[in-house]
Structure 1
C-alpha cells in the first residue's frame, strides 16, 4: 500500500509539473500569436509535443498503478477514481491527495482557459488574414470586369483586374 501511495504521489506531482509547463507554453503562445510570428509558433508547438507525450505516459502510469493496486485488493474495476480509492488511505494521505488533486485541477482549468483564449486569437487572426486577402484580390463577379468580352466568352483567358487591357 505504501508503494502505491508513493507512486501515486509522484505521478500526481509530475502531472502538476507538466501542466505548469504547458501553461507557460500557452502563455508564450498567446504572445507569439499576437505578434503573428508563425515560425516561433511552429517551434513552440514542436516543443510542446514531448510534454503531451509525457502527460500521456503519466496518465498511463497512474492507470496501471491504480489497476494493479485494485487487483491486489481483489476489486475488479476498469478505472477507479480517487474518491473510490481514497478510503484505503490514511487520513493524512487522503489530505495530501486532496491537495494534489486540487492543484492539478487548478492547472488543468488554467490551461483550458488559456487554450480557449489562444483559439479565439487564432480565429481572429485567420479572419483578419482572410479579410486582407479579400481586399487585395480582385473580385471575379464585377459586371464590368467579368473577364467576358462582348460576345459573352472569356476574354483572353480570364485576366484579372490588374492584367486587363487599357
Structure 2
C-alpha cells in the first residue's frame, strides 16, 4: 500500500474517532444538564480513551505524512495536508481534500460543543460556590462577637444554621 493510500486510511480513522468523540461530547452536555456526577465520571473515562486513540493514530498520520513528503520531494519538516495538496505528484487530491474538509468541520463542531460544556461546568461551579458562601457566611456571622464569656458560650452552642435576628 502506498503512503498516499495509508494516509487516506489513517485520516478516515481519525474522522471516525472524531465523530465518536463528538457523540461523547453531546452525551456529556445531557449529563451536565442532568447533574449526574457518576455518569459524567464514566463518560470522561470513555472520552479519555478516545483522545488517547486519536493521539496514537495522529502520530501514525504524522509519520506517514513525512514519508509521503519525501516521496513527493517536499521538505518533511512540519508538513501539512494543505502542503501535500499543492504537490502536482499527488494522485488522489480530491479524496485528501474531502477528508481535510471533514476533519476541519468535525474539529470545529467538537470545539463548539466543548466550549458549551465548559460554560455549563463553570455555571455549576459558580452555583456550588454560591451555596457554599451562603452556608459559610451564616457560620461566620456567629463568630463576630465580643470576647465576653457569656457570648462565647452562646456562640459555641449554636448550630451551623442558627443565626441572630
Q: TM-score with structure 2 length normalisation?
A: 0.84
Instruction: Single out whichever of 20-29 and 49-58 deviates more from structure 2.
Output: 49-58
Which 5+ residue runs of structure 1 have no aligned equivalent? none
Q: What's the counterpart of residue 143 of structure 2? A: 146
Alignment RMSD (CA, Å):
2.7
Which 5+ residue runs of structure 2 have no aligned equivalent? none
Q: What's the counterpart of residue 7 of structure 1? A: 6
Count residues with an aligned counterpart: 160
Are residues 32 and 118 of structure 1, via their aligned partners in 2, closer, same or farther at CA, if it must alter by over 3 Å?
Answer: same
Instruction: Single out whichever of 79-88 and 6-15 deviates more from structure 2.
Output: 79-88
Whole-angstrom distance in 2 between the partners of 1:147 and 1:116? 42
Are residues 7 and 160 of structure 1, via their aligned partners in 2, closer, same or farther at CA, if it must alter by over 3 Å?
Answer: farther
Q: What's the counterpart of residue 116 of structure 1? A: 115
Is the 8 Å Cα contact of residues 7 and 61 (structure 2) preserved in structure 1? yes
Are residues 99 and 161 of structure 1, via their aligned partners in 2, closer, same or farther at CA, if it must alter by over 3 Å?
Answer: farther
In the TM superposition, what whole-angstrom CA distance separates every residue of 1:97-133 from its partner, at most 9, and x where no partner exists? 1111111111100100000000000000111111122
Q: TM-score with structure 1 length normalisation?
A: 0.83
